[in-house]
Structure 1
Amino acid sequence: MNIAVWLPLLLPLLAAPAARRLAAALPPRATAWLLASSAALLAACSTAALGLLAGAGALRLPPVAAFGHLVLPVVGDQVTVPAACVAAVLLAAVAVALVREVRRHLLLPARARREADRYGSAAGDLTVLSDSRADAYALPGSFGQPGRIVVTSGMLRALDPAEREVLLAHERAHITGRHHLFLTVLALACACHPALRVLRTPLSYALERGADEAAATAVGDRKVAALAIGRAALAGHTAAVRPHAALSATTGPVPMRVSALLTPRRARAPRALAALLAAALTLSAGCALHAAYDLHGSIEVAQGEPR
């Protein structure tokens, strides 16, 4: 292997800021897809690069080489043993972080949904908790169970009927749009490469904006939707800590969201940034594939097979 194996580890440092800036000029749904898919590709390529580095170092160990019937040096001096050891440690850390994120995004929301159904009053996909604090959030469905909208009695008292309709439409849009999957994909990607964490805030904002637009469409009045979101956020400032992975209309930069509903704008996506991001993603994937092909060819040569 050569320098190609190192590039997927470095390119997220360039691609993630480019994706963040590019997302600011796109509609909410396009932003969510751009950020989640870019993060997933960059994370997969960087993790593959760590695996290739660790694997190349392992093949230089006599027991592994004997098991694979390798009679010639596999990678020579291109991958040093210390570099392979560091890659192996990082790969183990990535595995632990992935397990932790899977637990947080799958098991904990399921537990929170069961608790909401147990202590709340359920009607359809809505669960009302008897709590004077104003709060509302959406919990994702899993294991064949539908998602739940959880609203406290304090939040219902703080809003008039039209505003309640906006709030429920907003939370329902999170569930029907499967917005939790976007957050899960990004969380897993961040576990693979820390540089991708800069995409968390813009993705969360895009998902809330998408739900805002869906709620405004559902009620047919953007001003009512903006007023409801603003009042819900003011009422919910003393809300209790929500379950992990819960999406709520009262989170994020609410003034920006209200302004976007009242004065919708469309910015033009910078072509230079789009080209830069596309080039970084293509280069990352290409380098990972090239490094894998190069290692495979080296193994075949070490086994005495024609490449």
Structure 2
Amino acid sequence: MIYAVWIPLLVPFLVVPAARRLADALSPRRAVRLLAATGAGLAVFTLSALALLVVPGAGRLSAVAAAGEFVRPLAAVEPALALPLAAVALALLLGCAAGMTRAARRHWAQLHRTARPEHGDDSELAVLRDARPDAYALPGRPGSPGRIVVTTGMLHALEPAERDALLAHERAHLTGRHHLYLVAAELSARCHPALRALRAPMGYALERCADEAAARAVGDRAVAARAIGRAALAARTAGGPAEAHPAPALAAAAGPVPRRVAALLGRTAARPRIGRAAAATLIACLAVSGAAALDATHDLHSSIEAAQGEAP
């Protein structure tokens, strides 16, 4: 077990280069789903590996050994390493649990605050009287559709067709519940430091999903690209957003806007081979990590049976 258990802890470092290429090489929706599955799966396997490292050391404690009916020490890990590894793994597990709990509670509190009708009534669209251009999607709590917040400055900066594209972009964030993918990426990042690198590709892929939805809604990819570019330019020229965005908000002017505009206009070269290779890499990392975690679990189970005096 001591060898297999390390694989889930090392594999996440291999997904970073592939994840960075995935968002441009695959369709945005597929990229989002694969990135989310990769982050969640590797996070679960990381926690499983840490838990497996705790058990052999804990089994050397008299109270645990008595509860487990061990007649001999567990042989899953070298005796000199069992207790130190268990102490470190337990500390990491508790740190992961605390980080995930804080992140989940903070997100829930933010959704609770943003659910209050501070920007007008409870309608989908809230228009703020502010000359500085700004627009973002503000998700609601479960059962609440959320709302689109836009300033008069942003409405004046865009043509009518561009306004429709901008609103369609923000509406896609709400209907797709895109903030939940960002929360999942954040929770995964709390389990392994390498998984923090998935947050940027995830954010870009989500913006691309909304961009494509806006292009379909207005029926013109050029209008959607122009709306995104002009909205970002107007916001930056004005010196920043009209107000500090709430943390769950998703803004059309966020992320690498030139890359998004180029993708909408078809100016990025199609790279299906790179996309397939990146996707295959992430799937392989998930498979290897999961198989290693299962193998380590089987070995530990055999060690427990042997420690209990049962036939292997």
- Normalised TM-score (structure 1): 0.92
* Runs of at least 5 residues in structure 2 that lack an aligned partner in the other structure: none
Give deviations 1:97-120, integer Å, cap 9, x for gaps. 101221233321331232xx22x2
Would you say the 8 A contact 2:19–2:201 is kept in 1? no
Would you say the 8 A contact 1:109–1:246 is kept in 2? no
Match of 1:303 among 299, 302, 308: 308
* Runs of at least 5 residues in structure 1 that lack an aligned partner in the other structure: none
Moved more, 126-135 or 208-217: 126-135
What are the equivalent positions in structure 2 for 1:111-190 lying under 5 Å apart?
111-114=113-116, 117-118=117-118, 120-122=119-121, 124-190=123-189
The code of the aligned residue for 2:295 comes to H
Match of 2:285 among 280, 295, 303: 280
- 2:259 maps to what in 1? 256
Taking only aligned residues, the RMSD between alpha carbons, in angstroms, comes to: 1.8
Distance 2:255 2:4 in 1: 39
Distance 2:156 2:122 in 1: 18
Would you say the 8 A contact 1:23–1:34 is kept in 2? no
Would you say the 8 A contact 1:22–1:269 is kept in 2? no
**Secondary structure of the equivalent of 1:269?**
helix
What are the equivalent positions in structure 2 for 1:199-278 lying under 5 Å apart?
199-237=198-236, 238-239=240-241, 240-263=243-266, 265=268, 266-270=270-274, 271-278=276-283
**Secondary structure of the equivalent of 2:115?**
helix
Would you say the 8 A contact 1:166–1:228 is kept in 2? yes
What are the equivalent positions in structure 2 for 1:2-151 lying under 5 Å apart?
2-75=2-75, 77-78=77-78, 79-114=81-116, 117-118=117-118, 120-122=119-121, 124-151=123-150
Moved more, 193-202 or 165-174: 193-202
What percentage of residue pairs aligned between the two structures are identical?
55
Change (3 A) 1:190 1:220: same
Distance 2:246 2:235 in 1: 15
Deviation at 1:139, TM superposition (A): 1.9
Would you say the 8 A contact 1:16–1:39 is kept in 2? no
The count of corresponding residues between Structure 1 and Structure 2 is 304
The code of the aligned residue for 2:271 comes to A
- Normalised TM-score (structure 2): 0.91
Distance 2:108 2:207 in 1: 21
The code of the aligned residue for 1:304 comes to G
